[in-house]
Amino acid sequence: MQMPTASHERSLDSGAVKSRPVPDHVPPEMVRDFNLFTSPGMLPTANGDPHAAVACVHAGPPIFYSTSNTRDGRGTWVITRASDQRRVLQDTETFSSHRSIFASVLGESWPMIPLELDPPFHGVFRSLLNPLLSPKRVMALEPAVRERAIKLIDRIAASGTSCDIMKDFAVPFAVNIFLRFIGLSDNGLETFVGWARDLLHGDKEQRPPAARTIVAFIDELATERRKEPVDDFMTFIVKAKVEGRLLSDEEVRGIGVLVFVAGLDTVSAAICFDLAHLARNPKDQELLRSEPDRIAV
Ligand code: HEM
């Protein structure tokens, strides 16, 4: 979401907050020293608990201004209460979603679709994509998903008493299923995960080449599927129509990049956060073992 920014900026010097440019319209008392990427607990090297690190904002005001809260060091407003977040997300007239987060790494401004579109186009593209992600379609994957999980767990069990859960389970489990879902070969798994790692967790030297590589890959895949259609996600996108017309190259890219990046890091990270919680909280492990119905399916 974007907030209005003033063209003139001033510096703020106050005890806890380092001197950084603050837009003129931001009252000094609303500035807090919080950064989503570098606050204690958020750094991978700290082996911390990022959820707890973020949860600390609940103890503070409902809204504050962080002077450096993006990877490239820009300031943002931080809204800490779910009810206010919902109000902001629903007020698309005031708060646009057109941020071009990915494209801006390349100095460009096309949106990832549908994420960075505002109504009415957000709804138009969601209607196009919703059938692909319907519960029925996802449930159809269940036998293959279970088989993959069992195979990986059996392999871990056979190899000894411990494992690297990210490397030995979460990535080969989640990314394999995701690649199968969008119709890409598992052979590229390591390469694709490496691109996503550089893009999402790399430094400012690593991000632009990773973004360029992903865009080139998606553009090339779209060209291939236009020439030789198969039964997969990208073929669906290049053949799809909105409002009676085929999608533009930029729209195909905007969808392809979002969906590609969305599945390479998110689910494996979520699995590991869940398992880290259980490892740190043996009582919750016991609860799930004694009451397995609590595990939602
Ligand atoms: C546990 C795993 C996942 C988490 C935690 C997650 C999280 C999120 C979040 C927070 C957003 C909103 C981002 C924002 O507003 O800036 C989002 C949007 C989205 N995600 Fe995910 N995601 C996950 C997995 C996936 C997967 C596997 C896919 C693709 C198959 C996917 C596709 C999308 C799409 C298409 C949107 C845009 C929705 C819209 O704008 O209407 N996500 N996701």
How far does residue 213's CA lie from ligand 1's centre (Å)? 21
pTM for the model: 0.86
Q: Whose Cα sits closest to atom 42 in ligand 1?
A: 262
Query: Is the CB–ligand 1 distance for residue 89 below 6 Å?
Result: no
**Mean of the per-residue pLDDT values for the chain?**
88
Distance CA 254, CA 67 (A): 29
Banded model confidence at residue 46, pLDDT cuts 50, 70, 90? low
Q: Whose Cα sits closest to atom 10 in ligand 1?
A: 266
Residue 171 has pLDDT above 90, yes or no: yes
Cα 137 to the center of its chain, rounded Å: 22
Q: Identify which of 258, 31, 37 has the alpha carbon closest to the alpha carbon of residue 132.
A: 258
Domains for the chain: give ranges and CATH numbers: 9-96 (no CATH), 127-294 (1.10.630.10)
Q: Whose Cα sits closest to atom 7 in ligand 1?
A: 266
Residue 43 has pLDDT above 80, yes or no: no
130-166: per-residue pLDDT in tens? 999 899 988 998 999 999 999 999 999 999 889 999 9
Banded model confidence at residue 41, pLDDT cuts 50, 70, 90? low
